[in-house]
Amino acid sequence: MAAELTSADYAYLIILKAEDREISNTEMAELYGVRLRNPELKRLAGYVVSTTRGSTFWHVITDRGVRALDHELTLEQGRVPEGKRRTAKEGDLYWAAMLAMHKLLRRPPGKKVVPPPMDLADRVRAAYAELAETPGTWVKLANLRAQLADLSTAELDKTLEQMLDSPDVQLEPEALDRRIGPEERRAAVHIGGEDRHKLAIGVR
């Protein structure tokens, strides 16, 4: 069991493994009675890829998430600390995980659903939404790259440059040199003859 993951996080991984495809929060609620939101959404970064379309989140399990489920779990890891009780949400999640396991057990051998390719711009927008306090506020590219660590520098640079064609996207240099450390310099994207260190989405 990955140290940073909780039993609730594993319930979501089991659901996404059972579906083995991209699934929206709306459909997840219809099938399992739960939705993947914060704080679980942040903890599962890297284990799950989440994007937004309109106001709806879509999720798909990553290879790292699948590997996490290959690790042996123990009863002790899921115990409630003495003096505490499970919340209604936790109870819903455990039942949802059981439904997902039932689906996995009933799946014919060899059946594999291949998820559709995900748009990288959607992934950038979803990562930005996780990092920004409100739409339109600046987010450091260093933090964005950490959120999308599975993407190569070239992939993310190309996607960011293409996103500048959208009227609500801005990429700007950091005006104050004292705010540009080694991490910010490494994370910058070079566009139009200058290094740009921060991103804002939602600006009209």
- CA–CA distance, 115 with 168 (Å, rounded to integer): 29
pTM of the complete model beyond 0.75: no
Domain 7-106 identical in fold to domain 120-201: yes
Domain 7-106: top CATH class? mainly alpha
Q: What percent of the chain has pLDDT over 70?
A: 81
- CA–CA distance, 97 with 189 (Å, rounded to integer): 41
Give residue 170's region: left, alpha or beta (phi > 0; psi -120 to 50): beta
Q: What is the pLDDT of residues 132-151, one digit of tens each?
A: 888 889 999 999 999 898 88
- CA–CA distance, 147 with 169 (Å, rounded to integer): 18
Tell how strand 23-24 and strand 56-61 pair up.
antiparallel
Instruction: Answer for the pair 100, 17: CB distance below 8 angstroms, yes or no.
Output: yes
pLDDT number for residue 93: 78
What is the DSSP-derived secondary structure letter of residue 45? B
Mean predicted lDDT score pLDDT of the chain: 83
Task: Tell me what the mean pLDDT of segment 166-192 comes to.
Answer: 90
Could you state, in order of their start, the residue ranges of all structural domains in the chain?
7-106, 120-201
What is the DSSP-derived secondary structure letter of residue 177? G
**Is the pLDDT at 117 greater than 70, yes or no?**
no
Give 1's pLDDT tier (boundaries 50, 70, 90): very low
* 120-201 CATH pick, 1.10.10, 1.10.1060, 3.30.200, 3.30.70: 1.10.10
